[in-house]
A = this chain, B = another copy of it.
Amino acid sequence: MSRSPSTPPTLEDVARVAGVSRATVSRVVNGTRNVDRKIQEVVRAAIDEVGYAPNRAARSLVTKRAGTIALVVSGAGEPGEEGAFASRVLSDPFFGRVASGVLGFLRTRGVHPVLMVSDTERAREDVLAFLRQGSADGALLVSTHAEDPLPARLVDAGLPAALFARPARPMPISYVDLDHQAGAKLAADRLVGRGCRQVATISGPLDVPASQDRLTGFRDAVARHGSPYVPIAEGGFTAGSGEAAMERLLAEHPGVDGVFAANDLMAQGALAVLHKHGRRVPEDVALIGFDDSGPALTCRPRLTTVRQPVEDMAAEMARLLLDHVDDPASPPRSVIFEPALVVRESA
């Protein structure tokens, strides 16, 4: 133990105590070979004695690595909603799963994520500046908005980045994604397979590629079963929008007996409306969600849903980014994951 110095111990201090040079201490701290066993021990003892911790800023300055990446939630806040975007997105269990997957992977690599929200032009500039400053070595982007200009800006600036979903416009950037069409097909097959004769879907925002794919996949699969027409109501991935969509569907197609909602939150909203109208689920109307997030389990009946391996996808996204940071010359890569149907009570 030692008195608490006014200033933290440096390599120099350790070197002095151990009776070696700074370089040698640096070598043992960084695990470089070519250091005598005995000296290693002496140095390690000295490190403990003075309570040394390497200064990150100094290290970053020479290695040109921040050891952090930006985890950006990007989207378009309604003008003037002032932080509501952040609150909404961060409270979405889907984002929690993403963060958790990222954290799990990064933890093994000594890299830390800085949380950022980019819902305004100003915020976007902040993200860019943060990266240009070298405060983070790259960015992980979870977009909630198709027209998000951030990915392109990142590419243009030559900053390492990886996306959680295929960008709306093709661009040279790494991403992970789900085979949404396959997921929608799983739902369609289940609904038709259990005897539904009039299926409909509550889609996500149609300017989002994932929503498009889920819709297309669902339509195609249903068509293959012989029904060319599928009523659709567009939602916004929130429970409230799911309610509104279900109301519309019921009004225009009272005979609907099977519904595929493009995410669990909307399915949850639909469920409430179905209850309100006295339709039993799944007896009168079978309902399938998408994501397998927390709400799918708290619903009654519990939601049959299409599971995205979100944590795995997030971890892979982090891996893609770090690989790119390590080798900036490597070409962008994309990894597509397969969904699975989780059968519970709603269908």
Contacts and interface: CB of A to CB of B under 8 A. Distances in A.
Contact of A132 (B8, B115, B158): B8
Contact of A90 (B55, B89, B99, B116): B99
Interface in A269-283: 269, 272, 275-276
B134 A293 contact: no
A92 interface: yes
Interface residues of A, number: 59
Copy number of this protein in the oligomer? 2
Nearest to A102: B115
Interface in A116-170: 116-117, 123, 126, 129-130, 132-135, 158
A91 B93 contact: yes
A114 interface: yes
Given A8-B132, A90-B96, A298 B295 contact: yes
A294 interface: yes
Top 8 A-B residue pairs of the complex, sorted by shortest distance between their CB atoms: A91-B96, A57-B60, A90-B96, A53-B132, A87-B100, A91-B93, A86-B100, A57-B61
Interface in A44-68: 53-58, 60-61, 66-68
Contacts of A104: 83, 86
A296 to B, nearest CB: 11
A130 B112 contact: yes
A298 B117 CA distance: 25
Given A113-B115, A114-B112, A272-B298, A55 B134 contact: yes
Contacts of A95: 90, 96
A268 interface: yes
- Scoring A56, A57, A117, A158 by chain B CB atoms within 10 A of each residue's CB, the highest score goes to A57
Contacts of A158: 4
A49 B265 CA distance: 48
Contacts of A4: 158
Contacts of A107: 123, 126
Nearest to A94: B91
A239 interface: yes
A239 B60 contact: no
Given A57-B60, A68-B114, 4 more contacts: A55-B134, A96-B96, A99-B115, A265-B298
A95 B96 CA distance: 9
24 contacts: A53-B133, A55-B134, A57-B60, A57-B66, A68-B114, A83-B104, A86-B99, A86-B100, A87-B97, A87-B311, A90-B96, A90-B97, A90-B99, A91-B96, A91-B100, A95-B96, A96-B96, A99-B115, A103-B115, A103-B116, A112-B116, A114-B115, A115-B115, A269-B298
A83 to B, nearest CB: 5
Contacts of A114: 68, 112-115
Nearest to A83: B104
A172 to B, nearest CB: 15
A16 B113 CA distance: 35
A102 to B, nearest CB: 9
A171 interface: no
A71 interface: yes
A71 B114 CA distance: 9
A300 interface: yes
A312 to B, nearest CB: 11
